[in-house]
Amino acid sequence: MKSALLVFLGGGLGSLARYWISIAMKHQIDSKIDVYGTLTVNVIGSLLIGLLMGWLLKSETSYPNLELLLVVGFCGGFTTFSTFSSENLNLLKNNLYTEFLLYGLGSLLLGILAVFIGVLIIKKGF
């Protein structure tokens, strides 16, 4: 039960953070497509998960509760694959093929790069 509560709490906080960043991005960027908030959140979430994974792997002590709260809960609630998928479908429906390719490939590549950088930062001790 404690594990489920940690995931629930982290997920709720991650979802709120995602919402606030998406709103902030919407006010910052005037665009015909509304994907920048999701892209920003997914890259930040990927970097954060990389940092957390790197720290957890490097740590001599196991922190299962912290992993549930932050990695599974917060990062799971924060990143937005379902929103990403829906936005891609909307881009296709609106015949925005270039935006679809840039957004889809950009999200994938930047997300993987951000996880790698997060792990690397912790491994190298920056």
Q: Mean pLDDT score of the chain, rounded to an integer?
A: 91
Is the pLDDT assigned to residue 1 strictly greater than 90?
Answer: yes
pLDDT at position 55? 93
Domain ranges of the chain: 2-124
What's the rounded Cα separation, in Å, for the pair 71 and 75?
5
Average pLDDT over residues 13-34: 86
108 vs 106: CA distance, rounded Å: 5
Q: Note the pLDDT of residue 30.
A: 72
Structure tokens at 18: 């995602």
Task: In whole angstroms, give the CA distance from residue 58 to residue 7.
Answer: 22
Per-residue pLDDT, 108: 94
Please give the pLDDT value at position 19.
93
CA distance 14 to 74: 4
Average pLDDT over residues 104-117: 95
Is 90 exceeded by the pLDDT of residue 121? yes
Question: What pTM did the predictor assign?
Answer: 0.81
